Amino acid sequence: MSELPEHSWVRDAAALAALAAALREAPWVGLDSEANSMFAYRERVCLIQLNVGGSLWLIDPLALARADATLAELAAPLADPELRIWLHGGGNDVAGLARDFDLQLTNVFDTQQAASFLGWQRTGYAAVVEAVCEVPLAKEHTQYDWGRRPIDAEALRYALDDVIHLPEIGAELSGLIRAADLEEELELANRSIEQARAHEHGFDPTRMWKLEGATQLRGDRASVLAALYAWRDQKGRELDFPPGRLIANEPLVYLASRAPTDAEALRRIRLRGAFMREHGDELLEVIRKALADPPALPERPKRKRNPAAQVARDKALRSWRREEAERRELPAHVILPPRALQWIATYGAAALDQCPELGAKRIERYGATLRRLAQ
């Protein structure tokens, strides 16, 4: 592996102050973050990478927490509308920074959004970097445990690469967006990225019904699934591990359908050996108890039926959007973003100025058509 590029670590209050000062002086920053969603019950941001006007920084939130330091000092510079913030597929980064550190980003330019608006078929970071910079990037650390310390050198190289090339591809894509006359449309998409928020991570027993095959289980087996579904979540909390990685949805439903009550029957289910050794006895106890004293089944979510007029508007808008996208040789979401389409289908087109992600330019170009389609 080649030597790591020069970079500065932020692990204490002094380094944090130095980074805040650098951000206040910088014209732009490329930003990315790494979380541990595949290795923890509740994901948390474990590493933040920044390219601050050409200088590379790595923030270790775990070390800062041990030093009783917060990222509050970065709030003002990152919210400065004069600081351009380059992201790539930045919705999760924005959501994680808001959730874990109460940081709000402004003046965002999302390079994945830009590539998508330009109709590029491959919009992943490595693909865009290769297209613009002609640099191949390694991909083997996409499932790395970023909560691990120390972080492997190869993983650090991967993390730094995620911001090293952001300014160059941002500048290139910005020019292409300007030439394509899509600046306002992309600006609206970028503002939406800035508002991204993490999903609430609470246990909802009714989500059991979303598992494939759950609704086909007979009554007693559905009760077993409800018990197993609750057990899996509780065990994930205890171990600080994603419940779906303890036992995936498909084998969980199959286990409920077979409902083994002894070790031999459980072995025939052919679950992972390590999982069986650690949790087999618990599983059998949960199943036996559910069969003997079935828990109350969670209420099945009622399927919402949209009004006929809304369904008709949605169909008409989608058909028109597809035709207009083909005519202008643009992706469909550039013509009418999904959120705007849903809003117009739901509420009609009488107040297009209130429609999210639509914008003045689209209203001027398509307003009459939208009013006709959504009457």
DSSP secondary structure letters along 21-39: HHHHH-SEEEEEEEE-TTT
Q: How confident is the model at residue 2 (pLDDT cuts 50, 70, 90)?
A: low
Q: What is the DSSP letter of 140?
A: T
pLDDT score for 301: 85
pLDDT score for 152: 94
Find out whether 220 and 294 touch, Cβ atoms under 8 Å: yes
Q: What is the pLDDT of residues 13-36, one digit of tens each?
A: 999 999 999 999 999 999 999 999
DSSP secondary structure letters along 224-259: HHHHHHHHHHHHHHHHTS-HHHHS-HHHHHHHHHH-
pLDDT score for 168: 97
- What is this structure's pTM? 0.92
Which residue in 131, 108, 119 sits closest to 180, CA to CA? 119
The CATH label, of 1.10.150.80, 2.40.128.20, 1.10.10.10, 2.60.120.10, for the domain at 205-292 is 1.10.150.80
Q: Does domain 8-194 have CATH number 3.30.420.10?
A: yes
Q: What is the pLDDT of residues 216-242, one digit of tens each?
A: 999 899 999 999 999 999 999 999 999
Pairing state between β 108-110 and 45-52: unpaired
Q: What is the pLDDT of residues 318-343, one digit of tens each?
A: 999 999 999 999 999 999 999 999 99
Could you identify the residue written with the tokens 């609430």? 200
Domain ranges of the chain: 8-194, 205-292, 308-373
Domains 205-292 and 308-373 share a fold: yes
For residue 153, what is the enclosing H or E element? Answer: helix 153-164
Q: Does domain 308-373 have CATH number 2.60.40.10?
A: no
Q: Which residues pair with 110 in a beta bridge?
A: 87
Q: How far lies 46's CA from each of 60, 76, 78, 84, 145, in Å?
A: 7, 21, 19, 23, 9
Tell me how far apart the alpha carbons of residues 257 and 266 are, in angstroms, rounded to a whole number.
12
Average pLDDT score over residue span 106-129: 97
